[in-house]
Amino acid sequence: MDSGVAAGTAGVSPTVAEPDARPAMDDAANRRAGAVLTVNVGAIAANWRGLRDAGRVANRQVDCAAVLKADAYGTGARIVGPRLAAEGCRQFFVAHIEEGIALRSAMPEHPICVLNGLLPGTEDDFVAHGLTPALNHLGQLSAWRAAAQRHNRPLDAVIHVDTGMHRLGFSPEEAQVLANERGRLRGLRLALIMSHLVASEEQGNPINGEQLQRFRAFLRTMPGAPTSLANSSGIFLGPDYHFDLLRPGAALYGINPLPGQPNPMLPVVTLHARILQTRRIDALQTVGYGGAWRSARPSRVATIALGYADGYFRILINRTHVHLAGHRVPVIGRISMDLVTLDVTDVPEAEAQTGALVEVLGPHTSPDDLAEHARTNAYEVMTALGHRYARVYVDRPESTE
Amino acid sequence: MDSGVAAGTAGVSPTVAEPDARPAMDDAANRRAGAVLTVNVGAIAANWRGLRDAGRVANRQVDCAAVLKADAYGTGARIVGPRLAAEGCRQFFVAHIEEGIALRSAMPEHPICVLNGLLPGTEDDFVAHGLTPALNHLGQLSAWRAAAQRHNRPLDAVIHVDTGMHRLGFSPEEAQVLANERGRLRGLRLALIMSHLVASEEQGNPINGEQLQRFRAFLRTMPGAPTSLANSSGIFLGPDYHFDLLRPGAALYGINPLPGQPNPMLPVVTLHARILQTRRIDALQTVGYGGAWRSARPSRVATIALGYADGYFRILINRTHVHLAGHRVPVIGRISMDLVTLDVTDVPEAEAQTGALVEVLGPHTSPDDLAEHARTNAYEVMTALGHRYARVYVDRPESTE
């Protein structure tokens, strides 16, 4: 980190935002784009460094992985992965085997672990693509061990033990069987023992400590392997939770790992949508489907080129705004599939013109902000980011754009 | 239509559903899939025929287009488009120019109209790809006419006139200018005059009649061109609304165009997700993030491989269910990014096994049903359908699967 990171914290100080910083628009795809998503891979790299440094306290050298599932939270795994590898990241996690296969083609060398585990009959696919399954129960362990025997070489294994999530991972009973019968691992290289936190973003929730104790108890029965517990928010629970490997996802992409506190991460994405048309309407006219919004005064309406098919959720009706030339502009009427309408009455007419780009996500509206308007979390906002946006990748570690 | 369509209605009678009909799973992509989306293009074609036939009443021969925006409502425009062209559909609509370019590569001949209109500087892109912009104001008309002059040939034009939506389209004032100055169309071939209904799904809403009158008034000033007003629900408002071209989108894909009444359309999509793991938990244990669900009794929990990153909205917590082997199975705990947890306590253990496929969308749960659980509409459910699903296309016009 170039600035703002005190040793022993994962803090990253954002630089001052340039209001309405707009994406470069210089090729055909951008000219034709109704909306442009800009991903700052330099900010992702800076966030990764900040989190990695959080694990480098008290002479410990905790390693830091990167979670790239859901296409790197909507930002593009095949671009983000190699960028983080260049930064020094050595281990990667995805959810699905297909995600692993796609990422492998962009990253031939690095370990990629598939968290959803080993589906029956896919063992040879894992071997063929050099992927490591998270093994979630004894049946998967047996199948993976059989694959190692069939291929006549040791295969990496990640053991995922459940400490309270009750979603994936070895149950306490099966974990006990494994601890008593270490021979079940013969032929495999135990690359990692991991678990997953239930409520790491709630620093006062006692379940964090309970999971920590259960994880430690299991590890005492299985000494020697590298270990991992902390997701993004878990890193901020302190060194007790760090073990050998941090596994941040959300925080890499600028999502606040400390809800209710200032966001220590650099913002990563901006989203700008283009005005397709503006119009004047009289007072008491309605806009959009169902006539759900009615003008209280003579108004100007601008229509921009994104909608719920692009992940701009329908629930945002009457609950959010965008920014244009420094003005906060209300979203009015129902969100359409491909279009959103704005009340630009208070924006100077010269600014609210066809072709102008409005800020949907950016310095004024973070994914966490939009999530609050949509009554969800920034994870869902990010993973819903649309596939119709023109995508621009920039590499500006010190910029907030 | 082979059965069930009375002349003069757009009705399509679904055949009896086969409960839990499951997708064919015979290649590597399906073996590896956490979830499988099956799209019945035959049902889309049957729905199109039913809607087309609705326009063939009283010796009128109204044509029927297909709206393929948002990747054909999540079903795959490059597959659906050619299938409907083979069925006899001759005109297609998309939202964005990029969608038009992608569709053009699969359909070299048919007219494709881009509803979001003509962005500044994209005129030559439209010409190069043989796309027709919906012209939403005089400025776009001038730019398109200049393109025709530059290319020294007549270009097709679609005039979109606003009759109350106040979103896109010629305002009344600009429409009047156009009616008075027909020379503004010189060098263009007026392929269609269209407008869009605000509340066509509300058959008793007086705005439908108001829009109809405004559209007719405009058409009296611009005689001779083909005309179009009705979207899916608008078709069911009756022949007055049909004009020369029907423009269904939603109903093609099985979304009910008659909310509150029985759905006359064939279902098009099914979605099955695989069980990754099952576990037993004691009474009073929690499942998933935040410990948001707590077991009232000793329970069995199954975890399936889809989540909100796949469009299974977070708001569905504690509000929906899936089906497994004829059993209705509650979704429990928070929806995760890649995983959903189920209470399978009441399902025979032999059925709720790792690898089994549960019905998320299908005979028991339509997109309209899931939309009700998620407090949105089926349009958003469909356009949010995830990109990580394995996709299987079948062509069974008489099946409901």
Query: Cβ contact (<8 Å) for B286 and A164?
Result: yes
Is B308 a catalytic site residue?
A: no
pLDDT digits (tens, 9 = 90+) for A163-212: 999 999 999 999 999 999 999 999 999 999 999 999 999 999 999 999 99
How many percent of chain B have pLDDT more than 70?
92
CB contact under 8 A, B119 and A355: yes
- Rounded mean pLDDT, A227-244: 97
How far does A1 lie from chain B, in Å, by closest CA?
A: 29
Residues of A with Cβ-Cβ distance to B343 under 8 angstroms: none
Task: Pick B376's closest partner by Cβ from A281, A315, A377.
Answer: A315
Chain A residues whose CB is inside 8 A of the B315 CB are: 315, 375-376
**Statement: residue A137 has pLDDT above 60:** yes
Residue A148: CATH number of its domain:
3.20.20.10
User: Looking at chain B, how many residues does it have?
Assistant: 401
DSSP code, position B16: P
For residue A357, the chain B residues in CB contact (below 8 A) are none
In whole angstroms, give the CA distance from residue A348 to residue A338.
Answer: 25
| Same domain membership, residue A93 and residue A192 | yes
The answer on B386 and B373 residing in a single domain is yes
Do A226 and A344 belong to one domain? no
The range of the structural domain enclosing residue A81 comes to 41-253
Residues of A in contact with B303 (CB under 8 A): 167-168
Contact list, A311 vs chain B (CB under 8 Å): 384
Q: Are residues B293 and B204 in the same domain?
A: no
Give the residue from chain B lying closest to A335, CA to CA.
Answer: B380
CB nearest to A139's CB, from B120, B314, B354: B354
DSSP string, B209-261: HHHHHHHHHHHHHSTTS-EE---HHHHTT-GGGTTTEE--SGGGGT--SSTTS
User: Is B98 touching A (CB cutoff 8 A)?
Assistant: yes
- Residue B69 bears catalytic tag: yes
**What confidence tier does A322 reach under pLDDT thresholds 50, 70, 90?**
very high
Q: Is the pLDDT of residue A145 over 80?
A: yes
CA-CA distance, A71 to A237, in Å (whole number)?
Answer: 27
- Could you say which of B73, B241, B253, B289 is catalytic? B289
What confidence tens digit (pLDDT) does each residue in B236-269 have?
A: 999 999 999 999 999 999 999 999 999 999 999 9
Provide the percentage of residues in chain B whose pLDDT is more than 90: 88
* Crossing angle (nearest 10°) for helices B41-54 and B77-87: 50
- For chain B, how are helix, strand and coil distributed in percent, rounded to 5? 30, 20, 45
Nearest to A125 among B32, B167, B301 (CB): B32
Q: Which residues of B touch A117 (CB under 8 A)?
A: 276-277
d(CA B168, CA B117): 9
For residues B33 and B50, state if they share a domain.
no
Verify whether the Cβ–Cβ distance B301 to A337 is below 8 Å: no
Q: What is the mean pLDDT of residues A348-357?
A: 95
Q: Does B76 touch chain A (CB under 8 A)?
A: no
Q: What is the pLDDT of residue A30?
A: 76
pLDDT in tens, A115-126: 999 998 999 999
Q: What pLDDT, in 10s, does the model give residues A28-56?
A: 667 899 999 999 999 999 999 999 999 88
Confidence of residue A25 (pLDDT cuts 50, 70, 90): low
Q: Do both B176 and B279 map to the same domain?
A: no
Decide if A341 and B98 are in contact by the 8 Å CB cutoff.
Answer: no
Is B26's pLDDT higher than 80?
Answer: no
Percent of chain A at pLDDT > 90 equals 88
Whole-number pLDDT of residue A29 = 67
Distances (CA, A) of A259 to A74, B196, B277: 21, 43, 31
Count H helices and E strands in chain B, helices first: 12, 19
d(CA B190, CA B222): 10
Residue type, B339: L
pLDDT tens for each residue of B310-341: 999 999 998 999 999 999 999 999 999 999 99
- Give the C-alpha separation, B357 to B20, whole Å: 9
> Which residue would you say has higher pLDDT here, B304 or B17?
B304
Strands A112-114 and A132-135: parallel
A34 and A53 within one domain: no
Answer yes or no: do B14 and B46 share one domain. no
Check: CB of residue A91 under 8 Å from CB of residue A245. yes
Where is pLDDT greater, at B30 or A396? A396
A59 confidence band (pLDDT: 50, 70, 90): confident
**Chain B neighbors of A171, CB-CB under 8 A:** 279-280
Q: Which of A233, A253, A273 is the last residue of a domain?
A: A253
State whether B286 and A384 contact (CB < 8 Å): no
Kindly report the nearest CA distance between residue B309 and chain A, in angstroms. 5
Query: Could you tell me which of A1, A18, A13 has the C-alpha nearest to residue A262?
Result: A13
Asked if residue B223 and residue B130 are part of one domain, the reply reads: yes
Write down which residue in A201, A222, A253 finishes a domain: A253
3 state DSSP class of A29: helix
User: Which B-chain residues 150-209 have CB contacts (< 8 A) with chain A?
Assistant: 162, 164-169, 171, 198-199, 202, 207
Select from A123, A137, A160, A165 the residue whose CB has the most chain B CBs within 10 Å, as the one to mutate to test that interface.
A165
Same-domain pairing of B312 and B379 = yes
Catalytic sites of A, residue numbers? 69, 289
Same domain, B188 and B287: no
For the ranges A10-24, A67-81, A326-340, B342-356, the lowest mean pLDDT is seen at: A10-24
Tell me whether residues B125 and A28 touch, CB distance under 8 A: yes
- Residue B361 pLDDT > 80, yes or no? yes
pLDDT given at position B23: 56
Look at residue B30 in the predicted model and tell me its pLDDT.
Answer: 76
Domain end among A225, A253, A281:
A253
Taking each helix axis as running N to C, give the angle between helix B172-180 and helix B206-221, from 0 to 180 degrees, rounded to the nearest 10. Answer: 20
| B173 and B156, same domain (yes or no) | yes
B331 neighbors B309 (Cβ within 8 angstroms): no
Interchain contact, A32 vs B125, CB within 8 Å = yes
- Are the beta carbons of A96 and B305 separated by less than 8 Å? yes
CA nearest to A32 within chain B: B122
Identify the band that residue A60 occupies on the pLDDT scale cut at 50, 70 and 90. confident
Say how many domains are in chain B: 2
pLDDT in tens, A85-99: 999 999 999 999 999
* 273-312 of B, contacting A, C-beta below 8 A: 274, 276-277, 279-281, 285-291, 301, 303, 305, 308-309, 311
Which chain A residue lies closest to B74 (C-alpha atoms)? A309
Torsion of CA B367, A331, B228, A355, to 10 degrees: -120
Residue A57 has pLDDT above 70, yes or no: yes
